[in-house]
């Protein structure tokens, strides 16, 4: 018996009756230094075309490693969605930068740039939308009113997600770069984000403990962990 048999992630469970991916509750959690290696694993799993959409250029593995090594968790916010196997299946990176003098779309001190990716196996279940909403609400609560994204006009999925969240994609700097205007914070947006993070932290802890238990069991005589 394999340890992972006790914690199955049967792909059939991810489909609904119409054979479409089922949209179960998605928990978006703020990630930290201890998640860095799992973040790297997520990015390395993206195929060439996805890396192009996500980064605007095809990044080889060595550049992905540099990018992940360079994430500054004390300055930026990284949000993730974790699978039952405690793997990261979606990452949203909100990188802050001071407003440049040439920036005419905001008068705030800083702007944010958001990049999002979801592992192929986990797409169509609302993960990208939830990561996007979380990035936007965090900007809102952090007094940032302009969110830049690398988003090709052909990236209809991303455009759909932004529209669904009630946001319009503006383009002033060419075909690939876009920005969105974010509403100011209010009590509801602050409370909403805090509650989402609390629930996601509980979910993360349960999954981390389950993973640790599966590892422990796999070390018992006669068990092997095939979930690695």
Ligand X SMILES: CC(C)(COP(=O)(O)OP(=O)(O)OC[C@H]1O[C@@H](n2cnc3c(N)ncnc32)[C@H](O)[C@@H]1OP(=O)(O)O)[C@@H](O)C(=O)NCCC(=O)NCCS
Question: Binding residues for ligand X, per CB under 6 A?
Answer: 50, 53-54, 115-118, 123-129, 149-151, 155-158, 160-161, 164
Q: What is the CA radius of gyration of the chain?
A: 19
Q: Which is nearer to ligand X, 41 or 224 (CB)?
A: 41
């Amino acid at each position: 018996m394999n340890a992972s048999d006790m914690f199955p992630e049967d792909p059939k469970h991810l489909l609904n009756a119409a054979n479409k991916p089922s949209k179960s509750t998605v928990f978006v959690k703020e990630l930290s230094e201890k998640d860095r290696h799992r973040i790297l694993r997520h990015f390395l799993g993206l195929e060439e075309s996805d890396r192009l959409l996500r980064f605007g250029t095809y990044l080889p593995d060595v550049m992905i490693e540099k990018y992940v090594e360079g994430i500054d968790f004390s300055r930026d916010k990284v949000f993730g969605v974790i699978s039952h196997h405690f793997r990261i299946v979606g990452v949203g990176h909100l990188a802050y930068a001071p407003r440049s003098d040439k920036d005419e779309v905001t008068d705030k001190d800083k702007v944010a740039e958001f990049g999002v990716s979801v592992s192929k196996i986990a797409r169509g279940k609302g993960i990208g939308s939830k990561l996007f909403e979380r990035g936007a609400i965090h900007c809102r609560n952090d007094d940032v009113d302009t969110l830049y994204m690398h988003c090709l006009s052909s990236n209809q999925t991303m455009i759909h997600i932004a529209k669904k969240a009630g946001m319009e994609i503006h383009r002033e700097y060419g075909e690939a770069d876009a920005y969105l205007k974010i509403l100011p914070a209010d009590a509801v947006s602050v409370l909403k984000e805090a509650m989402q993070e609390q629930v996601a932290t509980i979910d993360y802890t349960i999954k981390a403990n389950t993973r640790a238990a599966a590892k422990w069991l796999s070390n018992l005589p006669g068990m092997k962990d095939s979930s690695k």
